[in-house]
């Protein structure tokens, strides 16, 4: 993966396969690191699966329940001295907390977060997405988008309606740039 | 400035149009978005399809995403289903190919043969 935004899209997409009703993504930019939380209320993983998650070569494809998305994310964070912590409970959900040190020579850029969040938001699985971004620059306001709130406004019009999708994309881009109207 | 108030207006406009939409005689575009697709550049391809469908007012086209389509080495993979359910699978689709697929296939009704999975696979 060339940037963090692709990892975030990839790892958060696991919530779709986990039959989650909601996935929450939080990014916090700090002076020397970026912290990421990805939480879902999906089926969760047993201790056995959780142990396999970090090892892409553990078992054969036929019985494998996990892919290479998580191992790649772990590699990205650990090569900067950071980490990925995964907590999961069967029937409750999964919580991933990661840290990547941004000044390390092997750190990768944050990338196009707006496009990743947009693609998550328009998922065809009816999974709600709640995203929150705290910028390093304290002058830039915290940006949040919650599809539950969007769906309330839409009153039955699908998120995937073309004019709605265009608006969502522009809204996320403007929000991340700190250019939203105060409401 | 973008605001949620704006979304209310878009909702009203969409609500008045949606009854006129003939989704059943339309096209469905499906972009593979598993780890393999994402790594190969599927995300901007999906975004480009969404942008162009909206920009060209293609009311009969739905753009959606799916997991791995099983051709990890030839990602990004895009499937186009026509109204009769006929499937065309495109491989190694990049942002620059999106407009060609929309213009030639979805608007013009002619498959972009050189970007199909079969042709790309045969050339390897």
Asked if B5 has any chain A CB less than 8 Å from its own CB, the reply is yes
Binary contact (A163, B13; C-beta < 8 A): yes
The whole-angstrom separation of Cα A99 and Cα A101 is 7
Q: Which residues of B touch A169 (CB under 8 A)?
A: 47, 50-51
Binary contact (A67, B11; C-beta < 8 A): no
Nearest of A36, A43, A39, A109 to residue A74 by alpha carbon: A36
Binary contact (A180, B11; C-beta < 8 A): no
Average of pLDDT values for A36-56?
89
Residue A143 lies in a domain: yes
pLDDT, position A180:
85
Asked if A164 has any chain B CB less than 8 Å from its own CB, the reply is yes
Is the predicted pLDDT of residue A24 greater than 60, yes or no?
yes
For residue range A75-102, list pLDDT tens digits in order. Answer: 999 999 999 999 999 999 999 999 999 9
Other CB atoms closer than 10 Å to residue B13's CB: what's the count?
Answer: 13
Asked if B4 has any chain A CB less than 8 Å from its own CB, the reply is yes
Range of the domain at A150: 4-176
Domain boundaries in chain B?
22-123
pLDDT, position B81:
95
pLDDT, position A66:
60
- A154-179 as b/e: b if 16+ CB within 10 A: beebebbbbbbbbbbbebbbbbbeee
> What is the pLDDT of chain A when averaged over all its residues?
91
Domain at A136, CATH number: 3.30.565
Which residue of A6, A119, A129 is the best one to mutate when testing the B interface, meaning the one whose CB has the most B CBs within 10 A?
A119
Give A61's pLDDT tier (boundaries 50, 70, 90): very low
Residue A14 lies in a domain: yes
Residue A181 lies in a domain: no
Residue A182 lies in a domain: no
Average of pLDDT values for A31-47?
95
For residue range A105-163, list pLDDT tens digits in order. Answer: 999 999 999 999 999 999 999 999 999 999 998 788 899 999 999 999 999 998 988 88
For residue range B22-44, list pLDDT tens digits in order. Answer: 555 689 999 999 999 999 999 99
pLDDT, position A110:
95
pLDDT, position B19:
61
Nearest-neighbour CA in chain B from A91: distance (Å): 23
Indicate the number of domains in chain A: 1
What is the ipTM for the molecules in this complex? 0.89
- Report, as ranges of residue numbers, the positions in chain B whose pLDDT lies below 70: 18-25
Query: Is CATH 3.40.50.11260 the right assignment for the domain spanning B22-123?
Result: no
Q: Is the peptide bond before B76 cis (omega within 30 degrees of 0)?
A: yes
């Amino acid at each position: 993966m060339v940037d963090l935004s692709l990892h975030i899209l990839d790892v958060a997409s696991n919530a779709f396969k986990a039959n989650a009703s909601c996935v929450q993504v939080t990014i916090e930019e700090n002076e020397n690191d970026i912290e990421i939380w990805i939480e879902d209320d999906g089926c969760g993983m047993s201790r056995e699966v959780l142990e396999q998650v970090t090892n892409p070569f553990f078992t054969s494809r036929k019985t494998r329940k996990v892919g290479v998305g998580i191992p790649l994310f772990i590699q990205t964070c650990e090569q900067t001295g950071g980490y990925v912590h995964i907590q999961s409970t069967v029937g409750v959900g999964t919580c991933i907390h990661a840290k990547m040190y941004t000044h390390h020579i092997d750190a990768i850029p944050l990338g196009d977060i707006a496009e990743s969040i947009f693609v998550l938001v328009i998922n065809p699985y009816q999974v709600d997405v709640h995203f929150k971004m705290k910028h390093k620059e304290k002058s830039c306001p915290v940006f949040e988008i919650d599809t539950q709130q969007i769906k309330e406004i839409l009153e039955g019009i699908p998120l995937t309606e073309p004019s709605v999708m265009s608006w969502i994309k522009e809204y996320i881009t403007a929000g991340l740039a700190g250019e939203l109207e105060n409401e | 400035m973008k605001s949620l108030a704006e979304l209310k207006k878009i909702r009203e406009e969409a609500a008045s149009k949606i009854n006129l939409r003939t989704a059943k005689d339309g096209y469905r575009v499906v972009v593979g978005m598993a780890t393999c697709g994402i790594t190969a550049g599927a995300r901007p391809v999906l975004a480009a399809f969404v942008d162009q469908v909206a920009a060209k007012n293609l009311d009969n086209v739905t753009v959606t995403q799916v997991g791995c389509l099983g051709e990890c080495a030839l990602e990004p993979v895009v499937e186009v289903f026509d109204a009769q359910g006929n499937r065309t699978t495109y491989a190694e689709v990049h942002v620059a190919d999106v407009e060609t697929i929309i213009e030639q296939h979805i608007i013009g009704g002619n498959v972009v043969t050189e970007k199909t999975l079969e042709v790309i696979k045969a050339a390897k």
